[in-house]
Amino acid sequence: MSRDTIYESDQLGALPFEFSEEVARVFPDMLKRSIPGYAATIQAIGSLASKYVQADSRCYDLGCSLGAATVAMLKNIDATGCRIVAVDNAAAMVGRCREVVQAVPNAGPSVSVLEANIQDVEITRASMVVMNYTLQFLPLEERPSMIGKIAKGMSEGGVLVLSEKVVDEDPSIEALLVELHHEFKRRNAYSELEIARKRAALENVLVPETVPAHIARLKDAGFRHAAVWLRYLNFVSLIAIR
């Protein structure tokens, strides 16, 4: 695992965040040191796959990056005749994701890794969809149609896993959560300069919402049940049942 030193650089520190080859190279370390609860989310995706994926259905990993959620599904699906579709619009991520998937031994379901915009991908016969820290990068006005498209393409009883950075409704609590997240990064050996530069790079690129906003959108799209199953500081993972 290559160590994330991207925001030690004066040159990269001033640029907006993007999923470049440089980011792809260090992405596992970046996730581990930046997102509290990330490993637990991936583990739960595997557990949900074993429970909810239906025979002869499709599973989607939308914004798959290096394929951690895809592999979690791949290793835990017991149903027959399934296909996993992993999608990302960053060429650097897609190339590495294909390598990761190909390295999984004795894989059951077939996997297609596509370089495409998730909004352009048709969702059909889906029994499981994962959006792991992906929706937050879409413009706010485009999020309802994306969630609606997923809901429309899902089979009854299918599950959506939606993980997001969120903002708290109480400004005082939000300030505390931000500080605690920065402390989390400090404990993982990020410097104050790196923390500040990463935050600046994500400004207006990653736009978080409140938990109630996410749940309301899921319910409006037609999901019968929606709730947070994991929260660690200002990072949450929700499940929604169609």
What DSSP string runs through the chain? -----GGG-HHHHTSPP---HHHHHHHHHHHHHHSTTHHHHHHHHHHHHHHHPPTT-EEEEET-TTSHHHHHHHHH--SSS-EEEEEES-HHHHHHHHHHHHT-TT--SEEEEEES-GGGS---SEEEEEEES-GGGS-GGGHHHHHHHHHHTEEEEEEEEEEEEB--SSHHHHHHHHHHHHHHHHHTT--HHHHHHHHHHHTTTS--B-HHHHHHHHHHHT-SEEEEEEEETTEEEEEEE-
**CA–CA distance, 4 with 23 (Å, rounded to integer):** 8
Question: Nearest 5°: CA angle at 28, between 230 and 92?
Answer: 120
Residue 37: pLDDT over 90? yes
What average pLDDT does this structure show over 1-23?
A: 73
pTM for this model (two decimals): 0.92
Q: What is the per-residue pLDDT across 57-91, written as a single tens digit (0 to 9) for each?
A: 999 999 999 999 999 999 999 999 999 999 999 99
Q: Residues of the chain with pLDDT > 70: what percent? A: 97
Q: What is the CATH number of domain 38-167+208-241?
A: 3.40.50.150
**CA–CA distance, 178 with 174 (Å, rounded to integer):** 6
Given pLDDT bands bounded at 50, 70 and 90, which one contains residue 201? confident
What pLDDT is recorded for position 81?
A: 94
Pair of tokens at residue 12: 């990269």
